[in-house]
Every structure is written in structure tokens, then in C-alpha cells.
Structure 1
Amino acid sequence: MLLCIAVWKCAVSPTGDKLYITNNSQHKLITLARNGSVLATFTDPALQGPRGVYVTPAGQVLVCGFLCDVILQVDSEGRRKLATLATKEDGVECPKSVCYDRHTASIIVGINNRILVFKVQ
């Protein structure tokens, strides 16, 4: 099966059965099965211009909205928002990448020429 999607970034689930893709121009997080079929398409007014996506070893999906200055957590199925982790009020401006460091329990956000680190409670 050939699926044509405008990909900005992608991440793989810990078990390798899902691929999460940010589609910046259509403001979507798309979840694909290993065979390429679409499992879910996540859209939310809080997620505009998604860029970076990261899956933690526990399967938590983190995605950053470049145009809306936000870091969201989405369920592992890629269907619904679980939490807003950081916003512009926290210093997030046009985030491009996100990841999680389990050793320090921190979310790391790449923003142009700087990096923000948020301790997870």
C-alpha cells in the first residue's frame, strides 16, 4: 500500500507496531500501523503546525505545536489529547522538537537557538 502524507517528523512506538507522523500543513498527528494503514488522525484547535513528535519508552506520545506554542501529550492510540504539558506562559515559543529524558524525568523542548527543560511531576 502506498500512502502519500506530508511528513514533518515521525516517531515509532516502543513495540514497533505504530508510527506517529506530524503533518505540519494540515495540523494533524497521524498514527499508522506497521503495514501503513491509518489507525488514527488527531486534530485539535490547540495543535496548530505540529512539528516534533516523540514516544517515551512507556508509550506516551508527546507532540509540539509550532504555530500555537504548546506541548501536548496524546494517548498511545493517537486519538485524543491527555494533557497540555507546556504553553507560551511556560516559555514555549515556536517549538520544533520535543523529547523525554527518563533519567532526569524531564521534557526537553527545542526552540530555535535554545532548549527548555521541564521537570515532570
Structure 2
Amino acid sequence: MSYDDNNIFAKILRGEIPCNKIYEDDFVLAFHDINPQKKIHALVIPKGKYIDLDDFTLKASSEEMVGLLKGINIVAKKLGISTEVGKGYRALANISDHGGQEVPHLHFHLFGGEKVGKMVE
């Protein structure tokens, strides 16, 4: 599967669709989910054109990999859910059809601000 430049996150990255931004740097953009599933629900996406975590792992540079992980931590701190400043959170990446991925651009959901509950039902 090749990257689709018309997916919603690609459009958000290009500024064609607005988002409620939390954080941005050279590697990631983070914003509030428009349909939150928990008290706090944010998305962290890499700025590169990666379909999912498998694609990212195969193609991303070491700098991009570190940038994504650090970005997730920075956003968790900003939201007050990291273990450094809060009570923890769940970081979730869905991968492909069986993983429940809906948008074909790698993204991590950060859930927190309350007990998240079971991992899988």
C-alpha cells in the first residue's frame, strides 16, 4: 500500500483542515481528537508520510523515531497525564485492518485524565 496524500492527517499537516493543536515540532504534530473517547484524548502524528508503525519502523530515520517518542512524552506532560506530572496514560497505535486503523497515517492516541479501563474487550 502506498501513502495516500489525501488522508485527513495529511490535510491537517498541510493546514487544509484545522486542528486544536497541543504541540508541534520538526517531527510531530499533536492535537485534540475531535471525537474524544476519554476525558483526555489526543493524537500525536509524525510529520513524515508513514502509513502505520510497520511502515515507520522500516523507513523512518533514527532522528524521526526519537522525535516521535519524545513528542509523545512532551504531549503527555503538557496534558498533565505523564507519570512525571500525572497518574499515567495509554498510548495506542492501531495498525492496518485487523488492528482497527481508520486513517492511513501513523498516529498514536493518548488517553488519560481518568482510568482508561481494559486493554481489549
TM-score by length of 1: 0.29
Structure scoring higher RCO (CA < 8 A, sep ≥ 6) equals 2
Structure with more of its chain in strand, by fraction: 1
